[in-house]
Amino acid sequence: GLEYGTQGILFNKLITTKVGFSYDESSEISTKGRANGSGEIEYPLVLSRNENRKAQNMDYFGQMTLRASDQISLIGGLRSTSVRLSNNDYITSDGNSTGSVTYSAINPVFGLTYHIADTANLYLNYGRGFETPTLSEMGYENRTGSTTAIDQGFNRRLLAAKSDQYEVGMK
């Protein structure tokens, strides 16, 4: 990741800005032997999964803090996130778990701080959150339409969770 920060004066007030970029990637290989009803691996070993799962995350962000007065600071920011989850199924007999899905969001953050003293602040913050399913969660789907039957497969129908957080406090 990269981050750049600077301070300056805007309308005779101190302003601090940060902008940045981050990229993360992880992968996992899942190979499991087929187990019988008592949980023992059957021999000869037959693979029930042979997959390479990958998660890629790219973020761009910016944040500004304006010291509006000796007592008041205002904070605002945005984060643009794109997450791609993919799976390559190497079992050629079905190959039904191969696929990918991309989730994207732009999330804001706003805050107000009242500086009571050098060592005490009151604050009020708001932020929007975004959380994608995990690679493990993506590995199972309900293909049969049953409310209880779960099959292995790449579940492209899962949605990202979105949340709003509010915070009030003193530190």
User: What is the rounded distance in angstroms from the CA atom of residue 109 to the CA atom of residue 129?
Assistant: 9
Query: Nearest CA to 159 among 97, 85, 54?
Result: 85
Query: Nearest CA to 133 among 154, 112, 115?
Result: 154
pLDDT in tens, 81-133: 999 999 888 775 555 678 889 999 999 999 999 999 989 999 999 999 999 99
Q: What is the pLDDT of residue 35?
A: 47
pTM for this predicted structure: 0.77
> Sign of the CA dihedral 38, 39, 43, 44?
positive
Report, as an integer, the average pLDDT of 56-65.
97
Helices (H), 59-120: none
Query: Nearest CA to 73 among 148, 123, 7, 29?
Result: 123
